[in-house]
Amino acid sequence: TLNAIELMWISNPFNDRIIKKKRTLDICFSNTWFLEHCPVEFPIKVRISHQKLLKRYVLNKIKNINKKRTMKIRLLDILEKSEYFKSTKIDWVETGIHLNKQGFNMLNLLIHKKGLNFLHLDYNFNLKPVKTLTTKERKKSRFGNAFHLCREILRMTKLILDAHIQYRMGNIDAYQLADGIQFIFSHIGQLTGMYRYKYKLMKQIRICKDLKHVIYYRFNVGDVGKGPGVGFWVPTWRVWLYFLRGITPLLENWINNLLIRQFIRRTKHKTAKSLTKQRIESHYDLELRTSIVNEIGALFPSVVKENKINLILQHLSEAWRCWKANISWVVPEMNKEIEIIIHKYVKLKADWWSNIAYYNRERIKNGATVDKTVCRKNIGRLTRLFIRSEHKKQIQYSKEGPFIKKKEIVGYYTTMSEWFRFLEKDKIRFPSLNDKFSSNLLIITLGHLKDQFSANVKLNLQQKEEMELLEYAYNNSNEVLKTIKRYLLIKRTFKEVFLSFMDHFDNIVPVYEVDAVEKLTDAYLDHFLWFENDMIEIIPDWVKPSDKEILPHLVYKWCKEYKEIVKTMKESIVKKE
């Protein structure tokens, strides 16, 4: 009885049995404002905003008159009936945190699925490169509108969530929170880049701008004055809420297509392709691949044929890449028949690939008209073939070498030992720091290294670094000498040597790029050994012209020896007289 009396005397509308309820997002707070006449003293931009909002309001009213009622289906009602979903109640800030975390993980998974390790997604949903990207990397890192629109929407929710978290932590008060939220909703176009990926969104941005003008000039009147502090965010919040409700089906469709492309790849439309200049070279490759597919298809029943063939084709391409990179290709527990087919395919393709390379080189050498891309590819192919042949030589030498007979080795060793015994000279000692010739030798070495750089040649990054090292060595000779001698004593692991070929069209010349410090160490050791040889005279005179000394130096030494002989002859003649 007490509950019935309370219900009878309760305030309207709760004393009625049937209440016409409205959701918060359906209540219009600002419609009556622009239905009123705009004061003349307001600026032009505010009056134009009034006109735009009024025009939109009238158009919506006309459109809704003829609107047919449809059966509304709520997704929540469907999910509640399913046994796989349960409903719970949690704080909405916690929900926002979960949403942002899951969105961040989802976008990161997609980035790593494409193998884009050079892109970084921060917690504010900004996608930035970690280095200067090459053209190939830039093309690879292009995402569609689905990814970027999803990222920008998550960025908007993160901004709103951050404002509420600051309020919960006590860093801002309720007025600052309301003003911040109103600013976010009014300046979405500046704070995010959603309009770049769905330009229709400019409609919502313009509506929010018009609402901002109306709200500011309604509240900032009298003694209040201009500036922040309005904090009335509901009208602009409704705009973005309705936008998100409308964009959800489109975004679902976009993300669905994006995921299908990622996992199932694009649907290839089989159209007949004409044999163009670009495809002439690959025509044999396609025929070879088709023959291998037919050979593999005979090994499997029709039920599992397609899946197995796709897997084996991946192994085929991997085996071919390994052959080009001069890496052994081994797959444990592979069927022997399939392995034999793959090796056969690689061998046939390698023969064809090598023959094309040698054929094109002959054409280039004979002066035939050849495309620039063909020349560039030919240099790359010949480089790979050169490295493969050198690697084979090294393996052959390590297995079957050395190729000098034992008698020849004994002969060489006996000759050298007899020669050193005849000379009665000391061995070449290790260069010491106290040697008076060390600094002079270093300066000569630096001069020879510097001669290779012409003043007119534009230097690359590595050559610039080498020049800087040479300049540093000129100014700090003692420190550099210590470094060189320490390298000679303890250095056992060396940096990679880069090989490239310079194309002179009739021939190609290998160009080796050695680390600057190692090059300086080797050059100093070379100069030191020849200097010590001149002092001790270990190498006999009859093999002197075979070394790589500079020709003027040889001429100078020959003239000096000739002068000594003439002098000796004159002295002997004088004695006889």
Question: Residues 360, 286: one domain?
Answer: yes
- Residue 88 gets the label, from left (phi > 0), alpha (psi -120 to 50) or beta, of beta
Pairing of strands 119-121, 127-129: antiparallel
Of 328, 355, 388, which one is at a domain's C-terminal end?
A: 388
CA–CA separation, 565 vs 562, rounded Å?
5
pLDDT greater than 60 at residue 265: yes
Which residues share a beta bridge with 119? 129
Lowest average pLDDT, out of 21-25, 266-270, 470-474, goes to 266-270
User: What local confidence, expressed as pLDDT, does residue 269 receive?
Assistant: 58
| Mean pLDDT computed over 148-155 | 94
In a domain, 25, yes or no: no
Question: Residues 219, 293: one domain?
Answer: no
**3-state SS class at 495:** coil
Question: Residues 136, 225: one domain?
Answer: yes
Of 388, 418, 449, which one is at a domain's C-terminal end?
A: 388
Query: What are the residues whose beta carbons fall under 8 Å from the beta carbon of 499, sequence distance 6 or more?
Result: 383, 386, 387, 510, 511, 512, 513
In a domain, 396, yes or no: no
Q: Which domain holds residue 160?
A: 90-264
Reference 99, options 161, 53, 141; nearest CA is: 161
In a domain, 4, yes or no: no
* Greater model confidence, 15 or 218: 218
**Per-position DSSP letters for 98-165, written without gaps between them:** HHHHHHHHHHHHHHHHTT-TTEEE-TT--EEESSPPPHHHHHHT---HHHHHHHHHHHHHHHHHHHHH
Question: Residues 412, 375: one domain?
Answer: no
| Mean pLDDT computed over 27-45 | 85
pLDDT digits (tens, 9 = 90+) for 179-196: 999 999 999 999 999 999
CA–CA separation, 145 vs 57, rounded Å?
31
In a domain, 367, yes or no: yes
Which residues share a beta bridge with 510? 501
CA–CA separation, 61 vs 5, rounded Å?
43
Angle at 454 between CA 449 and CA 460, to 5 degrees: 85
* Greater model confidence, 557 or 121: 121
Q: How many domains does the chain have?
A: 4
User: What local confidence, expressed as pLDDT, does residue 275 receive?
Assistant: 47
**3-state SS class at 265:** coil
In a domain, 18, yes or no: no
Question: Residues 308, 422: one domain?
Answer: no
pLDDT greater than 70 at residue 279: no
Cβ(229)–Cβ(175) below 8 Å? yes
CA–CA separation, 428 vs 538, rounded Å?
9
CA–CA separation, 296 vs 305, rounded Å?
9
CB atoms within 10 A of CB 528: 21
pLDDT digits (tens, 9 = 90+) for 287-336: 888 888 888 878 776 655 667 788 888 888 899 999 998 888 988 888 88
Cβ(94)–Cβ(100) below 8 Å? no
Question: Residues 240, 350: one domain?
Answer: no
Angle at 77 between CA 72 and CA 78, to 5 degrees: 95
Question: Residues 209, 315: one domain?
Answer: no
Helix axes 516-536, 477-490, angle to 10 degrees: 90
CB atoms within 10 A of CB 301: 8
In a domain, 258, yes or no: yes
DSSP-derived secondary structure letter, 87? -
CB atoms within 10 A of CB 199: 9
Reference 204, options 248, 244, 146; nearest CA is: 244
**Per-position DSSP letters for 461-500, written without gaps between them:** HHHHHHHHHHHHHHH-HHHHHHHHHHHHHH-------EEE
In a domain, 44, yes or no: no
pLDDT greater than 90 at residue 551: no
pLDDT greater than 90 at residue 577: no
Lowest average pLDDT, out of 159-163, 234-238, 349-353, 371-375, goes to 371-375
In a domain, 549, yes or no: yes
CA–CA separation, 349 vs 195, rounded Å?
50
Backbone angles phi, psi at 509, to 5 degrees: -120, 125
Question: Residues 499, 431: one domain?
Answer: yes
User: What local confidence, expressed as pLDDT, does residue 202 receive?
Assistant: 93
For residue 13, whether the previous peptide bond is cis, meaning omega lies within 30 degrees of 0, is: yes
For 37-50, letters b (16+ CB in 10 Å) and e give ebeeeeeeebbebb
């699925």: which residue's tokens?
113
pTM recorded for the entire structure? 0.47
Computed over every residue of the chain, the mean pLDDT equals 84
Of 388, 415, 447, which one is at a domain's C-terminal end?
A: 388
What percent of the chain is predicted at pLDDT more than 90? Answer: 30
pLDDT greater than 70 at residue 17: no
Question: Residues 417, 300: one domain?
Answer: no
Question: What is the maximum alpha-carbon separation in the chain?
Answer: 161
pLDDT greater than 60 at residue 139: yes
Question: Residues 209, 334: one domain?
Answer: no
Question: Residues 110, 241: one domain?
Answer: yes
Lowest average pLDDT, out of 151-160, 232-241, 291-300, goes to 291-300
Question: Residues 99, 243: one domain?
Answer: yes
pLDDT digits (tens, 9 = 90+) for 407-452: 888 988 888 888 778 777 777 778 776 777 788 888 889 988 888 8
